[in-house]
Copies of this chain bind each other. A is one copy, B any other.
Amino acid sequence: MPYPLADVPTPALLVDLDRVDANVARAQAYADANDVALRPHTKTHKSPRFAQQQLHAGARGVCVAKLGEAELMVDSGIGDVFMPHTIATSDKAARAVALAQRARFAIGADHPRQLEVLSAAAAGRGRALDVMIEVDTGSGRGGADPEAVQSLLTQLRDLPGLRARGLYTYEGYTYAAGDVASLRSRHHEAQGVMARLAERVADLLVDHPEISMGSTPSLLAQVPLLPTITEVRPGTSIFLDAAQATIGGEADWCAAHVLATVVSVQSGRAVLDAGSKALTSDTRPDGVAASPGFGRLVDHDLTITSLSEEHGVIRDGRADRLEVGARVRVLMNHVCPVVNLFSHMHLVRGGEVVEVLEVAGRGRVV
């Protein structure tokens, strides 16, 4: 039975299903328009329920951040999972190989040692383990230098148990662009690196290899994709957040909020019962996705100006207008780690709670 939001104890994570439906359709439409496969990243919702919705809407498969998330998704019946992250130890390699026996599974690599560890676990264990080589197109986080990719692929070809499915990058540095025009040109450059590299190493990859790009900003900015790109991996696009809403999106596209209560009002400040344990302390101080403070009260023109573990404080002369006991919806800076803090999300349609969904992948850090 649906019940009113007024009955939800705070802080709570609310997810509006009408907005989710629109966001899922928007991501699929972007992939379709560019003739690429959509492989949404489940790190945002951490829930088989939303993964299934994305697949029903047309996604080819999902991607995940951790083996524990991959196991959750395969256990729930999802048959195509890519983990665009690297591992370096034999215990995890064994889990990756086990996944490859149960589903169409691929894992990332960007270093010779990882390939050795994966091969040692995969050799002679049934189906080959698909590997995607991560390319650093500028993020400076994960990924091999483009000049090193040929050597990694040659090593991969000569190791037993592995198969080179393709190349991927995470062009997360586009977030640092100052505006949408600069974001678009950075994305084009990253695509160019991937396309030139794919051509150069084609003989070391499987036929029809995957050339995969990540990140939600490109779809919000409707960046056209080169023909070489075969797949995109947006994560945040299903829920969006304050940062994403500033990139070509609309604030009312955002599907997830934290419902909080004003517990106290003193002169010039209001205090919410949601702090860093509900909102994270992630900030977005600059770039195209800049959002001020630690979250925005969407039904008031107010921003959380400081956070401690259990309190969000709004230091603003206009905060005196908030009533003690009032409930407010907070649009957070970064939705993905917020979902990971909650054990459950309250699914909302038409302003009423229609289901309380477990965040099944919460805390699967291993």
> Which residues in A have some Cβ–Cβ distance to B below 8 Å?
9-12, 43, 65-66, 85-89, 91-92, 110-111, 113-114, 117, 136, 140-145, 172, 261-267, 269, 271, 273-274, 276-278, 280-283, 306, 308-311, 313, 315, 323-325, 336-337, 340-343, 362-363, 365-366
Contacts and interface: CB of A to CB of B under 8 A. Distances in A.
Give the residue among A308, A362, A363 with the most B Cβ atoms within 10 A: A363
A113 B324 contact: yes
A317 to B, nearest CB: 14
Given A276-B337, A277-B340, A340-B341, 5 more contacts: A88-B325, A111-B264, A114-B263, A141-B271, A342-B363
Contacts of A86: 263-264, 271
A310 B10 contact: no
B144 A266 contact: yes
A276 B341 CA distance: 11
Given A91-B9, A366-B12, A282 B276 contact: yes
B66 A266 contact: no
Number of copies: 2
Given A114-B324, A325-B117, A277 B144 contact: no
Most buried by B among A88, A265, A280: A88
A323 B116 CA distance: 14
A309 B324 contact: no
19 contacts: A65-B310, A86-B271, A88-B264, A88-B273, A110-B266, A111-B263, A113-B324, A136-B266, A141-B311, A143-B266, A144-B266, A145-B266, A274-B365, A277-B340, A280-B280, A281-B282, A309-B336, A341-B341, A343-B363
- SS class of chain A's interface: helix, strand, loop or mixed? loop
Contacts of A311: 141-142
A365 B11 contact: yes
A204 B342 CA distance: 41
Contacts of A306: 141
A264 B336 contact: no
B310 A85 contact: yes
B309 A337 contact: yes
Contacts of A141: 271, 306, 308, 311, 313
A9 B364 CA distance: 11
A52 to B, nearest CB: 23
Given A263-B86, A282-B276, A271 B11 contact: no
A10 B366 contact: yes
A2 B323 CA distance: 54
